[in-house]
A and B are shown apart, each in its own frame.
Chain A
């Protein structure tokens, strides 16, 4: 089943996790000294690509393993930090949150399509 849904399952989990992190940023928009955080998509992608790395079958082969990246949280560099040390920029966070929600829905749509394909195959597209 996992191979049927492909990358979309992992993408959905990533989007769900990022949604929580962005919600935390927005919740703490007025908390002094709170530092906004985010998950780097590239790092997650690299972590996923880790599984599909070159096999080293000869001593002279170079192991092209990318650096370990498990999609850990990074601190955001604010455009305009507040005087109380808070680095949340609510408008930007809201925009990212909306973008993330759309991407989540896109993943859902892809998975729905896969399931519809499976169902069509099982029922002989009746």
Chain B
């Protein structure tokens, strides 16, 4: 029965969106990390999605996670000579996490997750009804 691939497609989206939520949690948790060297400080991480064409059948595409990339934007430089991690110039570098961006990302991921969950629930209902066809 072809409805089964609905579960595969929506399931791949669920796992992709939950990865995105996890990365947002990681970014927000490490938002206030600082380091004396800009190369060592935490960088915001984001997931790269791609449509996995032809995984289940020619027309359908699940979501493929290509990988996790670290943001290229420069760490936030702050003059704080009293900080134990400050470098010789008295500078510390904070993680390049943008809280607003992360919150928007979190809402988007959570909405997408809910949508896919609803897709699975509806498909499940229809499958069960189809299984009991002719019994009523």
Q: Which residues of A contact B (CB under 8 A)?
A: 16-17, 19-24, 26-34, 37, 73, 90, 94, 97-98, 101, 104-105, 108, 111-112, 115-116, 119
Contacts and interface: CB of A to CB of B under 8 A. Distances in A.
24 contacts: A16-B3, A19-B3, A19-B123, A20-B60, A23-B9, A24-B60, A26-B112, A26-B119, A27-B12, A27-B61, A27-B116, A28-B49, A29-B13, A29-B112, A30-B20, A30-B109, A33-B51, A34-B51, A73-B59, A90-B115, A101-B122, A101-B126, A111-B134, A112-B134
Interface in B8-61: 9-10, 12-13, 16-17, 20, 49-51, 57, 59-61
A24 B9 contact: yes
Contact of A111 (B122, B126, B133): B133
A76 to B, nearest CB: 14
Interface of B: 1-3, 5-6, 9-10, 12-13, 16-17, 20, 49-51, 57, 59-63, 108-109, 111-112, 115-116, 118-119, 122-123, 125-126, 129-130, 133-134, 136
A26 B60 CA distance: 11
B3 A28 contact: no
A124 B2 CA distance: 36
Q: Which of A27, A32, A119 has the most CB of B within 10 A?
A: A27
Contact of A31 (B1, B63, B111, B122): B63
A26 B122 contact: no
B126 A19 contact: yes
Main secondary structure of the interface of A (DSSP, over half): helix
Contacts of A112: 133-134, 136
B2 A16 contact: yes
A30 B17 contact: yes
A20 B17 contact: no
